[in-house]
Structure 1
Amino acid sequence: MDGTFSQSGRVGRLSTVLGEDALALLRFDGTDRMNDLFEYRVEALATQDDLDFDQLIGTQATVEIEAHETMRPFSGIVTSAQWAGAGENGFKYALTLRPWLYLAGLRRNQRIWHRKTVEQILRELFADYAHLGDPAFEIKLAFDYPELEYTVQYSENDMDFARRLMERFGISYYFQHVTGSHKMVITDDELNLALIGERPFHPADRHHQAEEEHFWSWEPERNVTTGAVRQVDYNFKAPYQSMETRHMGDAAYPEGRIESYEYPGDYLSEDVGKVITRMKVRQERGADRRIRAVGDCVSLTSGYRFKLGGDKVPGHGEAFVCLSATHSFVSEAYGTGDAGSDGYSYSGSYVLMPDTAPMVPPKRTPLSRIYGPQTAMVVGEGEIDVDEYGRILVQFHWDLDKSYSMRCRVSQNWSGNGWGGIVIPRIGMEVVVEFLEGDPDKPLVTGCVYNGRNKVPYALSEHKTRSTFRTNTHQGDGFNELRFEDQVDQEEIYLHAQRDMNIWTLRNRSELTEGNQSQRTLGDKYERIDESSRVEVVGNIDISAGHEGNLIGAAALLPHGYEFRTHPERYEKARANWPDDNGSIRIQAQNDIAVLSGNTLTLGSTETTDVSTAGHLTINAIKRISMKASRMLSIISDASASIRAAAGVRMTNKKSGLIFDADGNVTIYGKSLNIRIDGDVKVTGRKINLN
């Protein structure tokens, strides 16, 4: 079939990118709702049976209906096109028109916004769709909104994410139409809604013929709603802060105080919580008053305000907001046998509310949820990036923008006020992240896992019986480690300190080694004991020094003395069987041993004290040397013996003596003197006196 249908002069017209009259309007119906998508269904007639749908779908189309000397456009994106069969006068097509926001519902994404207000997020989100309108959207907010530390779009399409944010903050939207375009208007104030003046009511049973748009059915209604909201939340930065808020609505009917309790309340302070709780009550109470009307107000669409005039009905003289409008239009026929009519007709049904009622969108969009844990990589500056609360930054595998999370709290094995356990995951580690209440905006790190880059400390499964806690030196090489080996006959606890190890015991410390024990210090060792020290050895004790050993007197080092003592049974055995080494104490050095005392040094034994040397023995005193025996004192030499004194020598007992004085005189005195010589006796002198 050649040619086109002319829509010139008709009440209803359809324009598309295919040309002004490539498709002629037959029928139009559909619904638009505030805070929702509109959907208009169009039945059209064409002379071609092979329209190029690739040119049509995804483009703007407009239905224009002329009524009461005004032209009302209904514009939308062609989201569906269908060949509906052949008629007597042409070929029928069915089109579906939806807003550009519908296209935003086709793009699922996962993104992170840092420190943005809801308005900033919406502008950034919708910027990708700005070419779909002239303009595609307008934001008209009367109130200020807080900067959000962290907002996640997780596995949500752009439309649902935007609507969820607007519902969260009580922000509404609707669409305004012009020929060839439509605009999304985002607002939080009913005064920003378009005002179209007065629309009268005239009842249908009076057969009123009106030359202007009017309603002929008006049915007010009331609905029971939640009357109060109570909320509680938690802020870990102020754990004892009161976070409970409650607000009562204005319902006056019985059971109008039904309360809804919600946790979490989505706020961090009580003051903010009061605002949010009040808004949620308005959300609930906004569903109380409704008017269902029918008429031919073709210019009335969702998001528009008007004043009711005409005949007296409840609400006369008041202003109302259109929440939804359902339109139905049938065009004049294009000849016989088509879907048109001899004339045209338009009717609409409307859901309204007083403009004094709360204008807060209900929460209909499901919240995004993450069910179960995920893993992520720790990111930040340097090797360790942590704040005062032990929070870290992570980057999720799904984040294509290579952004980072908010500061995430890290689960620890114990946490008290200044005590407990803490381990900070370091940059480059893979951590396990869970989400409080499943909320992507509330991540919590609960653990760490190894991967192909971060290897285990010991090769597996070779060391599968080994449990360890090994650290890594910050900005250096080395580690500290506590390790447990559970292999049978190889059980071990291993402790490694890369630098210093300090042990502080406030009371007693005991240590038992059932086998052998060895200790080695490669450097110097200093040990101080403020009171007494006792070393008890059941067997032998050997103390050896490579070069020089010094044993300093007790008074110089220890206030109460230092004692080495063998076991009593071995001690008795050593005394009775001195040649036996069991129970003996031995001090040995490769070179010298010095024994020093600040006052008195005493060597004693209950039986015999033996001082012997393979070479020379020298006993030296600055003042005096005293040798005393209770019974007998013997000085024996296998060769020669000499006694030498610079002043004098005295050898005496109680009744006799031998004196060598400093002047050279020798005196022998006693009761009697016996001299026995086997050989000769020679006495010489300058003078010899014999008495």
Structure 2
Amino acid sequence: MAGQSGSVQQQDSLNRYLLFFPHRKNIPVDVHSFTGVETLSQPYRYTLRFTSPEQNLPINAVLNQTAEFVLRAPNPNATWHRQSPWLPVRHINGVITSFSRIKSSGDEAFYECVLEHELALLDRNYRSAVYIGTSVPELVTKLMQDSGYFDGYNIDFDKLSHTYPRREMIIQWKETDLTFIRRLLAEVGIWFRFENHDQVPTETVVIFGDSAGRYIFRDKKLPYVRNSGLTSYNEYITDLEEQHTLIPKNVLVRTYNYRDPQSPQTDKTIETHDIPDGVTTGREYHYADHYLTKGDLDGEEGETATFYARLRYERLLNDQSILKATTSDPELQPGMMFTPTGPIPDSFKSGYLISSMTISGSRAEHYRATLGGIPYLNGYSFRPALLARPVIAGSVPARVAAIVGDKTYAGVDAQGRYCVKFDFDLDEQREGFESALVRLGRPYAGDKYGFHFPLLDKTEVAVMFENGDPDRPYIAQAMHDGARPDLVTNRNDTRNIIRTAGLNKIRLEDRRGKEHVKISTEYEKSQLSVGHLVDAEGKPRGEGVEARTDNRMTLRAAKGMLITTEAQPRAQGQQLDMADAVAQLEKALSLARTLQQSALTAGADPVETDPQTMLKQTMNMLSGAGILTYAGEGLAQVTPQSLQLSAGKDLIATAGNNATVNVVKKLSMAVGDKLSLFVRKLGIQMIAGAGDINAQAQRGAMHMLSQQDFTLTSTEGKMNGSAKQGMQFTCGGGGIRISPNGLVTIFSPTGIELKGPNLKYDGPESAQVQTPSFNKGAFKQRYQLHSPDDDQQILANKKFRMTSSSGQVIEGMTDSDGYTPLIDADDLDTLKMELME
């Protein structure tokens, strides 16, 4: 600590106190008096009054100039050993932050200046800033070096007892750099003091400590003497004072960490035998300290729950016993530990740590320092008092910053958090790392459910802070601005709109009489419009409901679907109200039953009404997975291509009036078992306007019966009749019989009349008629086998077994296209198919 400047030492003065300006060595000054304040974790400040023969010292010669203030004492051995007449005691370096000319005389002028450590200059730098991924010691070092007043050698964090983690983000909000540094250090319990460089006394090192290991332990014993009004050449200590207060017995800290909602809490008590019993009571509870983990048992791991609980209790211990004293020793300074000797109070016996001092001295008065401090206790250290953390009221504007990659989409992390660029942040060098990841406040959230519209790069957001804490931001809401205007303005203020950047949209129009809802996406222009339909320019284009897409559309309902034009005025009634549709089904069933009875009476095969009855039951209230379609004024299905109606079981068509089938080219009907046609009143009319009529009973008989006349006529051709086993025409008991061998017999019970102008008898003649043959295997078909879940997955080259409802079993193998061989399909009932491998 002791040292001196050669230039100062050369000054020929009897003054114990010297002031020297290294950059203006020609300024003659003589210290008149001084006062000083030195406190742990604060820059020291000395107010110096001096005289100078120069009546008008230039302001820039003193203000903002480095200076050295030297305290020295006479050397008692100087005469005998030819040593320097002065011994250096303290060397205080700094910069002049205030300069005043107080008065002057004919010989000299009287000035006053303030000397402070360079760290005090950081109190002139006021700002708001964001710091990412740094620890408290690292950030303090950076701020000091960025100021230009410090290099690595005069910043000493080398002997910290704790390890301090890097924080995601630290925000400086409307603070000077010095206030910000002192606040951060106090929050983690790091204090600092000043010490002259051991090699260069004109340089001052800032020593940072977080334990008693960084105290200055002085071996020198300083005697305590009671104040008698006399003076002494030797240094001493006097006016010992002590003040004791009750403190809480323990400290509880708790916080909420959304990353792990089971927030750790620690109830921590520090025990020390140096505190008398019964001087603690109560408990102090602190919420929302900045930590993420519980930490080790003794709080040695920095910035954990246990660490902060211990830190807060140590601050209480610092305030429990306040010790004061007065001394004449100029070597004492904050951060120094010493033990007074003599009849001292018990509180001073364990050692006395100086935490603050107020100093004064002059040409006329001896050096005097009033000390403030605490007793030395094993297991705890001095902790600077907490500075008020700034509170950010309201919101702060910011913009979403894409983390990495494509900025077309939201840059969220695995937890759905965003990086933001605060508008007050002047640092433009951290693209993609402008802030820690912050959460987005939403009106609804839960376990993998909630409400989240991703925010894109450059979106303006209003950021708020939990309890106003600058280090706990969250996005409160997104905002429109001049560059990104609102989608609802005075031009369309009757609309309520949700629209994404990809133009997915939900629009709700509230204009009276023109209300509508539209849900749309740009992909294939898929849209659902409800109500008053308008085009892109707001012009009407319809009413009701419209669903459209440039691609495919599917309607799927597992339990049934009702499509109806039955009215429900003002949305009254139940979902499955279908009275008109059910009435129509019952009417069709009644008509079918009436015609069924008529067919039975006429001897025709009756209409089967059981499937129709079952279908009506299924459709009624959609008790089964069916589709019921009803249209009060008619129903049309039209296509310029093909229309297929297919039923796995029964196909039923009922008309209360007429049924018309118009086919331009060919009408084909194939029936597996039987075709039964019954007409109740007006008969059957079959006319071929061109071409033949071909009626065959290929495996049975043909019967044609009429109650009245039966006419066979060929207007321009001939009529042929043939039969392989014989023919017979009869009427009234007589007739013509032709046997299979060609014998013709004419018989009559009353007589035979032959009329004609000629009757000719010739020899035998035979007519050969080719009898059509019928292919017994005409009804054959093959089947293509596929996976039950995917009709595109063909089962090729697979062995199968097919069992018909009659019990017939057919085995075979599918070909490369999954087809079976041709199978006799006389039995068109249910077929059971199974694979054999």
TM-score normalised by length of structure 2: 0.66
For residue 93 of structure 1, report the CA deviation from its aligned partner: 0.5
* Aligned partners of 1:432 and 1:448 also within 8 Å: yes
Of 236, 239, 256, the match for 1:217: 239
Once the two structures are superposed, what CA deviation does each residue of 1:530-549 show, in whole Å capped at 9, x if it has no partner?
84333223221112120222
Contact 1:378–1:426, Cα closer than 8 Å, also in 2: yes
Match of 2:396 among 369, 374, 391: 374
**Amino acid in the other structure paired with 1:174:** R
- Pair 1:90 & 2:122 matched: no
Q: State the 1:33 CA deviation.
A: 0.7
Q: Which has the larger displacement, 306-315 or 319-328?
A: 306-315
Give the counterpart of 2:123 among 101, 105, 109.
105
String of CA shifts for 1:272-312, please: whole Å, max 9, x gaps: 21221121111222111222101201111112222322445
Residue 600 (structure 1) shift: 6.9
The aligned residue for residue 289 of structure 1 is: 321
Identity level (%): 18
Contact 1:548 1:589 in 2 (8 A): no
2 CA distance for matches of 1:633 and 1:243?
107
The one-letter code sitting in structure 1 at the alignment partner of 2:117 is: P
Give the drift of 1:208: 7.3
Cα distance per residue 1:387-422 (max 9 Å; x no partner) = 111111111122211231111111233222222332
Aligned in 2, Cα 1:542/1:218: closer, same or farther, shift over 3 Å?
Answer: same
Q: CA deviation at 1:43?
A: 0.8
Alignment partners' CA distance in 1, 2:635 and 2:740: 50
User: C-alpha distance in 1, partners of 2:746/2:391?
Assistant: 120
Q: Residue 172 of structure 1: CA displacement?
A: 0.4
**Aligned 1:340-419 pairs, distance under 5 A:** 341=364, 344-356=365-377, 358-380=380-402, 381=404, 382=406, 383=408, 384-402=410-428, 403=430, 404-419=434-449
- Deviation, 1:67, is 3.3
Q: 2:643 and 2:751 mapped to 1: Cα distance?
A: 52
Distance 1:490 1:137, change over 3 A: same
Alpha-carbon distance in 1 for matches of 2:188, 2:751:
132
Corresponding residue of 1:142: 161
For residues 461 and 284 of structure 2, the distance between their equivalents in structure 1, rounded to whole angstroms, comes to 37
Cα contact 2:70–2:88 (8 A) shared by 1? no
Question: Which has the larger displacement, 483-492 or 38-47?
Answer: 483-492
Within a 5 Å distance, the mapping from 1:43-54 to structure 2 comes to 43-54=49-60
Instruction: Provide closer, same or farther for how the CA distance between residues 129 and 633 of structure 1 changes in structure 2, counting only shifts above 3 A.
Output: farther
State the distance in 1 between where 2:713 and 2:14 align.
154
In structure 2, C-alpha distance between the alignment counterparts of 1:501 and 1:310, rounded to whole Å? 96
- Amino acid across the alignment from 2:264: M
Match of 1:432 in 2: 462
Change in Cα spacing, 1:620 to 1:65, as seen in structure 2 (3 Å) is: farther
Change (3 A) 1:587 1:43: farther
Q: Which moved more, 1:643-652 or 1:406-415?
A: 643-652
Q: Quick one: distance in 1 between partners of 2:753 and 2:492?
A: 93
Letter in 2 for 1:426: L
| Offset at residue 264 of structure 1 (A) | 0.9
In the alignment, the residues of structure 2 paired with residue 128 and residue 278 of structure 1 have an alpha-carbon distance, to the nearest angstrom, of: 33
Matched AA of 1:549: L
How far is 1:376 from its partner? Answer: 1.8
One-letter amino acid of the structure 2 residue matched with residue 289 of structure 1: S
Question: Out of 520, 527, 536, which is 2:630 matched to?
Answer: 536
Which segment drifts farther, 523-532 or 93-102? 523-532
Provide structure 1 residue ranges, at least 5 long, that are not aligned to the other structure: 332-340, 474-478, 504-510, 566-570, 579-584
Pick from 6, 13, 23: which aligns with 1:8?
13
Q: Distance in 1 between matches of 2:629 and 2:242?
A: 100
Aligned counterparts of 1:670 and 1:414: Cα–Cα separation in 2: 104
1:274 corresponds in structure 2 to 306
Counterpart check, 1:172 vs 2:191: yes
Q: Deviations over 1:295-347 (max 9, x none)?
A: 2011111122223224454356533211111111011xxxxxxxxx3xx4111
| Residue matched to 2:149 | 131
* 1:467 and 1:484 in contact (8 A); partners too: yes
Alignment-mate amino acid for residue 356 of structure 1: L
Distance 1:310 1:521, change over 3 A: closer
Structure 2: distance between partners of 1:662 and 1:493:
83
**Matched residue, 1:476:** none
How does 1:244-283 map onto structure 2 within 5 Å?
244-250=265-271, 254=278, 256-271=280-295, 272-283=304-315
Aligned match of 1:318: 350
Residue equivalent to 1:453: 483
Letter in 1 for 2:266: T
- Deviation for aligned residue 1:195: 2.8
1 or 2 for the larger relative contact order (CA 8 Å, sep ≥6)?
1
Q: Which moved more, 1:301-310 or 1:272-281?
A: 301-310
User: How do 1:456-495 and structure 2 match up within 5 A?
Assistant: 456-457=486-487, 460-473=489-502, 479-495=503-519
Separation in 2 of the partners of 1:22 and 1:596? Answer: 130
1:546 aligned partner, one-letter code? P
2:474 counterpart of 1:444: yes
Shift of 1:10: 2.1
Paired position in structure 2 for 1:338: none
1:549–1:593: 8 Å Cα contact kept in structure 2?
no
Partner amino acid for 1:538? G
On the 8 A contact 2:250/2:283 being kept in 1, the answer is yes
Equivalents in 1 of 2:459, 2:679: separation in Å?
A: 68
Deviations 1:125-153 (Å, cap 9, x if unpaired)? Answer: 11023535895432232221112111122
Instruction: Answer yes or no: is the 8 Å Cα contact 1:376–1:397 preserved in 2.
Output: yes
Equivalenced residue count is: 637
For 2:215 and 2:202, locate their aligned partners in 1 and report how far apart those are by CA, in whole Å.
22
Alignment of 1:47-86 (within 5 A): 47-67=53-73, 69-86=87-104
- Residues 430-460 of structure 1: CA deviation (Å, up to 9, x unaligned): 22222212122222122222233334457x4
Partner in structure 2 of residue 32 of structure 1: 38
Does structure 2 retain, via aligned residues, the 8 Å contact 1:117–1:147? Answer: yes
**How far does the alpha carbon of each residue in 1:499-552 deviate from its partner, in whole angstroms, 9 at most, with x for none?**
48999xxxxxxx9x9976666676677778884333223221112120222222
Aligned to 1:541, the other structure's residue is in SS state coil
Counterpart contact for 1:532–1:561, Cα < 8 Å: no
* Amino acid paired to 1:461: N
Write the mapping of 1:168-247 to structure 2, written as runs, cut at 5 A: 168-177=187-196, 180-205=202-227, 210-239=232-261, 241-247=262-268
Q: Does 1:18 align with 2:24?
A: yes
**Aligned partner (choices 157, 160, 171) of residue 152 of structure 1:** 171
Deviation by residue 1:474-503 (Cα, 9 ceiling, x = unmatched): xxxxx4222222222322111223448999
**CA distance in structure 1 between the aligned counterparts of 2:727 and 2:477, rounded to whole angstroms:** 91
Q: Output the amino acid matched with 1:164.
A: R
Tell me the CA shift for residue 92 of structure 1. Answer: 0.5
Supply the AA of the counterpart residue of 1:216.
T
d(CA) in 2 for partners of 1:541 and 1:675? Answer: 65
Sort the Cα spacing of 1:494 and 1:528 in 2 relative to 1 into closer, same or farther, 3 A.
closer
2: CA distance, partners of 1:449 / 1:670: 113
RMSD over aligned CA atoms reads 4.3
Which piece of structure 1 moves more, 441-450 or 596-605? Answer: 596-605
Q: TM-score of the superposition, structure 1-length normalised? A: 0.79
Answer yes or no: is the 8 Å Cα contact 2:399–2:421 preserved in 1: yes
Q: Does the CA-based 8 Å contact 2:525-2:550 persist in structure 1?
A: no
Cα distance, 1:226–1:655 mapped onto 2, change above 3 Å: farther
